[in-house]
Amino acid sequence: MPIRQPEIECLNAEELKDMQGKLLSSQVKRMYENVVCFRGRMDEAGLKPDDIKCIEDIGKLPFSYKSDLRDYYPFGLFAVPMKNIVRTHASSGTTGKRIVVGYTAKDLDVWSDCIARMLTGIGVTDDDIVQVSFGYGLFTGGFGLHGGAEKVGATVIPMSSGNTALQIQTMADFGATVLCCTPSYAMHLGEEAKRMGMIDSLSLRIGIFGAEPWTEEMREKIEETLHIKAYDIYGLSEIMGPGVAEECEYQCGMHIWEDHFYPEIIDPDTCERLPDGSTGELVLTTLTKEGFPLIRYRTRDICRLNRTPCRCGRTHVRLMKPQGRTDDMLIIRGVNVFPSQIEEVLMHVSGNIITPNYQIIVDRVNHTDTLDVLVEMSRELFADNVKSVENLEKSITEQIRSALGLSPRVHLVNPNSIIRSEGKAKRVIDKREGKI
């Protein structure tokens, strides 16, 4: 398969390090001047931008956290004036408040470049028709893949998510050759196409799936059902969106584009940097991002980096599939969900006096993630009136849906019916296979 930017994608290790050092040092300077939060942390650590001369110096720099995005909501971490920001995206935070990210025109261009590198590397060209079935909107998925696909000159169908029958009809009628969506939705689309007797009307040959964890078994199943090759893509809104790391044709880990993103693996407890090949928390630094740069961002994803040479010839390190999280974040239908968001809704519903006991049950039924929330009935919530109890159920459902962007099924259950171990109710039960 062709390599889109061989002079960068195949750059030797020494030159790459040299390049990263220069980018880091200028990024730190710019952020020190423009981002109050970063300057404060540097000052606290007794660091000056001049202390950062090469990429090895990165270990001296302070970490940044998801909570920073909440604390400086909405635009407080941007490093350029708002007139230079041309796009915002947002995703869920750990509490009710969303986190917001911003891009300059150049940032959007880099984003498309990263995706275009992947697309070229797996054989997508201007002859392809790409159906983007990731959600369009504040979520980064849709627009991210869209930009990259246009960059390689492919024909884009900006389908967005939902309406499965129309998705399949469009894929067939427009002759889509590439499908981008969450892996669970790909499974669902495959099953439905089969049921509708339309599998043979499809021209798909490649699938790009991400935004939620999936297993090798799922990959095999999707490839078999849709008659495609399925590739993994990794990203997070805070850093850019999808395209931070992507698989090449050899499907053996996702190349992190190291000219834009510098990865480290740390021990999440001691915060010490771990040698290559160790499993730990992924920490990412944006080396070129203008609008919303982040230094040493704690992704909370547990994974491993692989520096052994890849058969494709690219020198950029490979990220092995994340193995879990250091926090309690769940990924449900591609949406990041923190149990604390649900807790906040329940607290509010009960008039901020007590939080009813609750349990979150996540499962995968017919390849689609399901979210059930059990809420224990209490004397405070009960009324001798079917309508008010039903309204309570509806109101909890609606408020969770609005907080998460995801519809739950809410069940009111008997008091003390949620099993407690050592006095504490188990808050989350994830029954999905291959979950992280």
Name the residues that contact other proteins, by CB under 8 A: 377-379, 382-386, 389-390, 393, 411-417
Nearer to other proteins by C-beta: 90 or 346? 346
Rounded CA-CA distance 142/108 in Å is 13
Q: Are 321 and 276 in contact (CB under 8 A)?
A: no
Q: Give SS3 for 157.
A: strand
Of 223, 182, 215, 234, nearest in space to 436 by CA: 215
Nearer to other proteins by C-beta: 329 or 413? 413
Nearer to other proteins by C-beta: 311 or 379? 379
Q: How far is the CB of 378 from other proteins (least distance, A)?
A: 7
Q: Please give the angle made by the CA atoms of 115, 150 and 101, to the nearest 5 degrees.
A: 55
β-pairing, 409-413 vs 318-325, is unpaired
Nearer to other proteins by C-beta: 323 or 416? 416
Q: How far is the CB of 425 from other proteins (least distance, A)?
A: 14
Q: How far is the CB of 248 from other proteins (least distance, A)?
A: 49
Nearer to other proteins by C-beta: 270 or 414? 414
Q: Give SS3 for 172.
A: helix
Q: How far is the CB of 71 from other proteins (least distance, A)?
A: 39
H helices, E strands: number in the chain: 11, 21
Q: How far is the CB of 162 from other proteins (least distance, A)?
A: 25
Rounded CA-CA distance 412/422 in Å is 23
Nearer to other proteins by C-beta: 76 or 382? 382
Give the other-Cβ count within 10 Å of 201's Cβ: 14
Residues 6+ apart with CB under 8 A from 390: none
Rg of the chain (C-alpha set): 23
Q: How far is the CB of 33 from other proteins (least distance, A)?
A: 57
Q: Are 7 and 250 in contact (CB under 8 A)?
A: no
Q: Are 408 and 397 in contact (CB under 8 A)?
A: yes
Tokens for 218, please give them.
Answer: 């799922």
Task: Taking the CA atoms of 372, 377, 383 and 386 in sequence, report the sign of the dihedral they define.
Answer: positive
Q: How far is the CB of 377 from other proteins (least distance, A)?
A: 5
Nearer to other proteins by C-beta: 365 or 386? 386
Nearer to other proteins by C-beta: 308 or 416? 416
Residues 6+ apart with CB under 8 A from 431: 361, 362, 363, 364
Q: How far is the CB of 409 from other proteins (least distance, A)?
A: 9
Nearer to other proteins by C-beta: 353 or 386? 386
Q: How far is the CB of 422 from other proteins (least distance, A)?
A: 19
3-state helix, strand, coil in the chain (%, to 5): 35, 25, 40
